[in-house]
Structure 1
Amino acid sequence: MRESATQLREQRLQTLFDDCQQHVLAQIIGPFGLSTAMFQDKTGGNVTTAHNFAQGTTATDDDQARYARFRQSADEFDRASYAASTTDWQRKRDSAAQSGVDGYTGKPLSEDFDLDHVIPLKAVATDPRAHLALGEVKDGAASVDKIKTLLNDDANLVGTDASLNRSKSDKDAQEWARANKAGQDDKTNAEHYEVDPKRMDEAYRTASDKINATIDTSLLKKQTGELLTTGLDQAARMAVRQALGLLLTELVNGLFNEFKVLIKRGVEAGKTLFQEIRERLGRVIQTVAAKLPDAMGQLLGGGVSGFMSNLLTFLINSFITTAKRIVTALREVLLGLYRAFKLIAMRPAHMTPREAMQAALKILATVVATTVGVLLEESVSAFMLTIPLLKPFADVVSPVLVGIVSGLLSAYLAYQIDSAFDRQARDEKLLDELMADAQRRSGFAEELRALCDASLRNVEQYAQAMQGYADIGAAYGQAGQTSALTLASLEHTNAQTREQVRRSHEGVASIEHRQQQIDAFLNHL
């Protein structure tokens, strides 16, 4: 048992050394190699969310132009930029005059009336969501024409008394109605201007629904299109990265192993160095070609993880802004989770559930190591920039250095997982042996108990037999006494019989004597 455990440890150490080479190459080629070349991850992700836009974090140049226009309106609001043209405004005013009813009070509309924006121009003009959803970019500059059209829609305009409109100004209609009239603490604006609450609420709801629905629909359409475009792009890039990463890792490993053997053993007798190299390269190419089916299989996993990471990044950035390293880490995490889940849910036929779980844990360990490496890469690069000799090479060396460390950490974690499963297997084997021994002991105890029961039954039967023997002895004793009495009686009877026989003989003799005397007498006569 000790010898097998030692052999297993040596085997695990050799596996660790081999895995170190595999993991280091995979990390340098994959997350820290091809990803750097193929992906340009950005803070906030590939699609601008409303949360990020409000903070100035944008994914595209067009969104940056929209943000610049939003800041311009927020910093110095220009009402004229959002007001309707004179001709259009007069047409809308004439339409309100034809109704003849004040939109807020319900009274007849006076000749001195104004058209009021129920939702003020400034409220929407300084709303980042409106600029993100409706801003149109032309020649690098964002236009607010769509926002202007929405604000001056009939649903947001109400004809009302001029003095009421000037009092309301750019205030929210409902807040203005609840506020006290300037200089009159005993009356609200609604009471002073005799506003009909139902009319004002209805006008406010109609305007809000129109503006919010337009902004929400436009934003949904914009972000959905961008999510599909960027998601498919990420899926394609990630699929290619996975396939290329697998083939390149196999190629580099094959070249490394073949030339290591070549250096160790030298050129085979009868061959030239060129022939030896050509044969070894041929074997490497065959090995890489044999991995093509596996590379094709990697396409799906890479594509799914690329698309889902793009979507997940968008969802997260709807609430918090993620750094670009987080975006990279999310892609690697989702890829690892997909591979681990696939391994467990669709377990290969040659694997037991235990082996599938072990392999899945090793994948997750690699995900952890890669994620740590991705998050530390920028710090390592920044540190190297502080060293004059390394500064020119920081961008090139830091991914390789972090890839090596991540690969070594991945291999070590995989080794620890294998060791833990081995210990668990040994513990389970020992437990099985203990359980088998316990079962054997239980069987022995059961047999011993049965033997004891049989012995007790024998003792009980022996006791019953002894009691029977005692009863028989007593019966024999009584029979002996009876026999003794019978013998005495028989002896007495025998004595009497002998006496009687003696007397009978004497009587017969006396009779015979008498008969002789008679015969003699008779003969004498």
Structure 2
Amino acid sequence: MDSAADRFRKRKAALDHNSPVAITTPVVAIEPMVEAALPVRLEERAGQIAVQADALLAELHGRIDEEKISALIDSCQNECLQAVIRPFGVAKILFEDKVGGSVDTVHNVRNEVFATGRAREKYKSNKKYDSHEYHNHDNYKKVNKENSTRLNRGIVKDSYSGGEIIKGKMQLDHVISAHEIHDDAGRILAGLDGSALANVSGNLKPTSQTINGSKKDKSVAAYLKWLDDTKIPTLAQDIARLEEAGNLSAEKAMELIKNKKKLKELQKIDRAQMTAADVAARKYYNGKINKAYYTSGTFIKDTALTSVSSSGRLALHQAIGVLMEEFTRAAFAEMRDVWLHGFKNAMDVSFLEALKERLSHIAARVQAKWRIAMDTAIGGGISGFLSNLITVLINTFTTTKAHVARLLREGALSLGRAFRTLAFPADGTSLAEAADAASKVLAAGLITGGGILLETALEHHVIVFGPLAPYVLSVGIGITTGLCTAFAIYMLDRLDLFGVHGRRRHDQIMAKLDLMISTSYDRALEAAAVFDPPALLPAP
């Protein structure tokens, strides 16, 4: 296609080539034509030209819009195919997502969610609680003796009420009960000695026999709630009942006195002080467990192995996805060709030869995608490794559901693709174009995540399809996700957040106009060459 500069050079060359028209045409021959054209108003002509220009631009814009609609339809097909094959197809074959992830965490085992049979068996084999073992620990005896000595000097206060402790009525309370520590799955997972943890000085508090005896193996939070909901109201009712009865026996009178002492003592408990003691004890206790387990070889090894496994699976998932997509497209292309032109390409070709040829076409197309599959696998491997680490991290604080692992995996893939698009744009790609492409990748990732959540919500409502239910659901959600992704990308093109498509549309229209002008000019030159200028004009 000739550019504007090329057309200018052609015109200049034509004028400089001793053209008789350029040299010998007398001015007097043109004047009658000019005079005849004078009545035509220039404004009308300018308006006609403007209308024609607007119509031409509208036509060009319409052609581009038609091309975009056609591209949208093709995009819908591609996105549906990708959505069915990748996150809702291949992923279910390669990944077996489960509640709590693939690595045991302290938080999860405390909620009876075990990632490994090893941790489950270790918890089940925990020996039965022995109170004697916990209350005869060396540090328990040492702290108890120290507090008894201080009590004799009158300098020991009740750790929970701040009041005086009657001699002979002092007891050491395990802030976190010994029974709770013994049965704690987190402690068992970390492999720490329960008796040693229960009897650290920060977990032993001197208090009265009444408070310690009523607290027993309850946690502080459960104990305070029990006091407010049950113990104190019950004591108050018993006291009121005895006082109303009158003429009490010696036994009942003694019961009334004891109940009043208990009620008074329990009501003196400083809830803030008791809660603060519990918070401090648990902070130390959980710190010891977390440090012991999360720095252990078992945890590090399990995290590394599952991350590598997740990396390999996601790399394979991405590579298979690319190859399966191309295989499906190639297979449909061959089926379309069979429909239009028949299975055999010649009458003397056998069925097996024709089949071999068509399969070779499919294999060639799949093989051509091998490098793309490898590049995609590398990105998938990195995303799989990171998504497993994130899953483990989240499970240290809360237990993830099975679909959360899929969300994290797809999210990591989308973020990874978006980062690569921005950080390593293709040659000749501007920052705005890279940002536009990255925004579409993120939008596709968000829609895929929504599809996973929708699939999770509907999986119990498609049982009417029997054994085909998982496949029906996967295909249905995959197609829906693909259509939504294609529509979202189309809308992002229309919104043109980065001005990329406006510039691209302008360039397309200018290219089409340039082509039209160039074509018209070439035709004009060809038409002018038909005539012989010396025959039309008088000789000089």
After TM superposition, is the score higher than 0.5? yes
C-alpha displacement at 1:250, in angstroms? 1.5
- Alpha-carbon contact 2:176-2:278 (below 8 Å) kept: no
- Whether 1:290 and 2:368 are equivalent positions in the alignment is yes
- Alpha-carbon contact 1:119-1:208 (below 8 Å) kept: no
C-alpha displacement at 1:412, in angstroms? 2.6
Paired amino acid for 1:30: R
Cross-structure match for 1:376: 454
- Alpha-carbon contact 1:118-1:204 (below 8 Å) kept: no
- Alpha-carbon contact 2:82-2:482 (below 8 Å) kept: yes
CA spacing shift, 1:182–1:305, aligned 2, 3 Å: same
What per-residue deviation string (whole Å, max 9, x for no partner) do you get for residues 389-426 of structure 1? x2231122211221122122222323333444499567
Report 1:128-207 matches (<5 A).
Answer: 131-135=184-188, 146-152=193-199, 168=212, 182=262
Paired amino acid for 1:217: K
C-alpha displacement at 1:37, in angstroms? 1.3
- Alpha-carbon contact 1:82-1:151 (below 8 Å) kept: no
What per-residue deviation string (whole Å, max 9, x for no partner) do you get for residues 334-360 of structure 1? 211110121011111143333323322
Query: Quick one: which of 405, 415, 421 aligns to 2:480?
Result: 405
Measured in 2, the distance between the counterparts of 1:352 and 1:251 equals 33
Measured in 2, the distance between the counterparts of 1:256 and 1:237 equals 28
C-alpha displacement at 1:332, in angstroms? 0.8
CA spacing shift, 1:422–1:15, aligned 2, 3 Å: farther
CA spacing shift, 1:205–1:18, aligned 2, 3 Å: closer
C-alpha displacement at 1:318, in angstroms? 4.8
Cross-structure match for 1:26: 82
Paired amino acid for 2:303: L
Measured in 1, the distance between the counterparts of 2:91 and 2:168 equals 64
Measured in 2, the distance between the counterparts of 1:107 and 1:207 equals 27
Q: CA RMSD in A?
A: 4.8
Cross-structure match for 2:317: 241
- Alpha-carbon contact 2:107-2:186 (below 8 Å) kept: no
Query: Quick one: which of 229, 247, 250 aligns to 2:326?
Result: 250
C-alpha displacement at 1:42, in angstroms? 2.0
Query: Quick one: which of 268, 289, 299 aligns to 2:345?
Result: 268
Query: Quick one: which of 119, 124, 128 aligns to 2:174?
Result: 119
Measured in 2, the distance between the counterparts of 1:103 and 1:234 equals 60
Paired amino acid for 1:151: A
Query: Quick one: which of 408, 423, 433 aligns to 1:355?
Result: 433
CA spacing shift, 1:329–1:182, aligned 2, 3 Å: same
- Whether 1:3 and 2:66 are equivalent positions in the alignment is no
Paired amino acid for 1:262: V
Measured in 1, the distance between the counterparts of 2:496 and 2:70 equals 17
**Amino-acid identity (%):** 26
What per-residue deviation string (whole Å, max 9, x for no partner) do you get for residues 220-272 of structure 1? 23655543333332222111111111112112212222332232233334662
Aligned residues: 393
- Alpha-carbon contact 2:176-2:203 (below 8 Å) kept: no
CA spacing shift, 1:48–1:113, aligned 2, 3 Å: farther
Cross-structure match for 2:289: 215
- Alpha-carbon contact 2:108-2:114 (below 8 Å) kept: yes
Cross-structure match for 2:306: 230
Paired amino acid for 2:95: F
Measured in 2, the distance between the counterparts of 1:81 and 1:41 equals 39
Judge which range, 286-295 or 42-51, deviates more.
Answer: 42-51
CA spacing shift, 1:418–1:311, aligned 2, 3 Å: same
C-alpha displacement at 1:372, in angstroms? 1.9
Higher Rg: 1
CA spacing shift, 1:328–1:210, aligned 2, 3 Å: closer
CA spacing shift, 1:66–1:106, aligned 2, 3 Å: farther
C-alpha displacement at 1:277, in angstroms? 3.4
Query: Quick one: which of 338, 348, 351 aligns to 2:416?
Result: 338
Measured in 2, the distance between the counterparts of 1:186 and 1:19 equals 72
Measured in 2, the distance between the counterparts of 1:380 and 1:366 equals 21
Cross-structure match for 1:81: 130
Cross-structure match for 1:468: none
Report 1:388-403 matches (<5 A).
Answer: 390-403=465-478
Q: Which runs of 5+ in 2 are unaligned?
A: 1-56, 155-166, 224-259, 508-540
C-alpha displacement at 1:377, in angstroms? 1.3
Measured in 1, the distance between the counterparts of 2:458 and 2:262 equals 62
Q: Secondary structure at the match of 1:84?
A: helix
Measured in 2, the distance between the counterparts of 1:277 and 1:81 equals 76
Q: Secondary structure at the match of 1:348?
A: coil
